[in-house]
Amino acid sequence: MQHKTRSTTVVAVRKDGDTAVGADGQVTMGEVVVKTTALKVRELRGGQVLAGFAGAVADAFTLFEKLEEKLERYPGNLTRALVELAKDWRTDRYLRRLNALLVVADKDHVFMVSGDGDVVEPDDDVVAIGSGGPYALSAARALRTHSGLDAAGVVREALMISGEICVYSNREINVLELTGGKP
Active site residues: 8
Helices and strands, number each (H, E), in the chain: 4, 11
- How many CB atoms sit inside 10 A of residue 29's CB? 9
Q: Is 44 helix (H, G, I), strand (E, B) or coil?
A: strand
Q: Is 33 helix (H, G, I), strand (E, B) or coil?
A: strand
Q: What are phi and psi of 9, to 5 degrees?
A: -140, 130
Amino acid at site 107: K
Amino acid at site 22: G
Amino acid at site 116: D
The rounded distance, in Å, linking the Cα atoms of 87 and 76 is 19
Q: In what order do the strands lie in the sheet with 119-120?
A: 41-44, 49-55, 100-105, 110-113, 119-120
